[in-house]
Amino acid sequence: MKLLIESAICDLRKAQEETLAAYDNITIQSALLITNPRARALLAKYPFTLQCAQTLDLEDDIQLNTINGQTTLTGQNTPNGKQYLIINGSLTVTPDAGDALRQYMGITLNGAAYCPTSLATVLASKSTINGKLYSYPDHAVVLKSTTVLDRNFLYRAQSRLYWAAKQFIAVDEKLDGGALAATGARFTSPSAILSEGLAKDLAPLFDEATQLEIVPDGTQVIQDDLELNDASLGRYGEDLYIAGDLTLADDCEEGLNSLEYLHVEGDVILPGDLADALYDIPDFACGGEVILLDGHPISCKSRVKVDEALLDLYPDGVSLLNCALVEIDPALEPSEILEQLYLSNCALVRCTAAQQGAVQAAGGAARIQLTDQATEEEAPDEDTQIFECAQYVL
């Protein structure tokens, strides 16, 4: 008899020899394996196969406490007895949580941590953090990672220090910068984007560690990736700031010609024949790469089938960007793929073995699956006991 355990957490501290002796092989596939000295001795004695991301030694009387989702640790969250905390989500620690934090036997955090500066060392010493640790001033008001300062914010602003983990954005033409400054509000963050008209009043409100980006009045700030065609580009006005990547369709030349200011933190992806229009923008900057494509761009699709019909529609070729699944028609010749297809950041491409080399030469993909080769998963033996669960105690 075999035993297969597939779990997020597997606790071996209470394992009994008579239970283990009943199995010829024990396979544990787990993100976190909990052991103690007695359990480690049993691991050496019996036929275990372990596939675990993290192993943790805990005393027998320490209780596991698992929280799924965002959580906040305050001074009221004092643990009852000896507890080890597992959090699958982000954690915010308040400045009054020091005593409670110190009473936990340890913390595994699968997410970001937001912690006051005075407790950052304590949290780090208590925790395994599979994410980023953000430290904020103890007396600061913690806001969203990216916070927009607009007229609505002004109505509630107080004489306090406000902190954002990533960025503040202040480009609202209706915001009275002088009125916001008069409230006594102050701000700290790694960066801030301010319009020219607001910068005189607002720039002094930020500490010296904040990197300021001053943009023309009327600039539209996009906080994510953006895909544009000529019609939608015209709706944004003459000035555009994009925090992610920008993908332009092949009909964007007129829209690009109307832009005066374009700053892109990520990559700019566009058809090659639009390169001159892009570089003619008076104030253009790109923090990533400018990627010039051959042929018609198709981006951010969950599934695309590449066949003769698609390639006939676009004789100059097709560029696929950020597509989840790309299926190559087995009837396509490798030479056609090389001549008419470009791939960028596509998750999975399905093709034949004969087409694989051409697909790789076309830009490749995160994963290539060959459709003419069997990939059946090996089924478990009939005498295998299988347990699939979030937490398993052996």
- Is residue 276 in a domain? yes
Q: What is the pLDDT of residue 103?
A: 93
- Is residue 386 in a domain? no
Question: Which string of DSSP letters, residue by residue, matches 70-117?
Answer: -EEE-TT---SSSEEEEEES-EEE-GGGHHHHHHSSEEEESS-EEEEG
Name the domain count of the chain: 5
- Is residue 247 in a domain? yes
d(CA 146, CA 153): 13
Contact residues for 363 (Cβ-Cβ < 8 A; gap 6+): 342, 343, 344, 346
Closest CA to 116 of 99, 139, 100: 139
Long-range contacts of 89-93 (CB under 8 A, 24+ apart): 90/114, 90/131, 91/115, 92/142, 93/119, 93/123
- Is residue 239 in a domain? yes
Co-location of 282 and 324 in the same domain: no
- Is residue 394 in a domain? no
Whether residue 373 contacts residue 353, with contact meaning beta carbons closer than 8 Å, is answered with: yes
Q: What is the pLDDT of residue 331?
A: 94
- Is residue 383 in a domain? no
Q: What is the pLDDT of residue 215?
A: 96
Q: Give me the tens of pLDDT residue by residue for the chain, a chain 394 residues long.
A: 888 888 888 888 888 888 888 888 889 888 888 999 988 888 888 888 888 888 888 888 898 888 888 999 999 988 888 999 999 899 999 999 999 999 999 999 989 999 999 999 999 999 989 899 999 999 999 999 999 999 999 999 999 999 999 999 999 999 999 999 999 999 999 999 999 999 999 999 999 999 999 999 999 999 998 888 888 888 888 999 999 999 888 788 888 999 999 999 999 988 888 899 999 999 999 999 998 887 788 877 889 999 999 999 988 889 888 888 999 999 999 999 999 998 888 889 999 999 999 999 988 688 899 988 754 444 556 688 888 888 888 8
- Is residue 277 in a domain? yes
- Is residue 385 in a domain? no
For residue 56 the two structure tokens come to 């943790």
Whether residue 308 contacts residue 331, with contact meaning beta carbons closer than 8 Å, is answered with: yes
Co-location of 344 and 333 in the same domain: yes
Q: What is the pLDDT of residue 376?
A: 45
Q: What is the pLDDT of residue 234?
A: 81
Supply the range of the domain harboring residue 106.
63-136
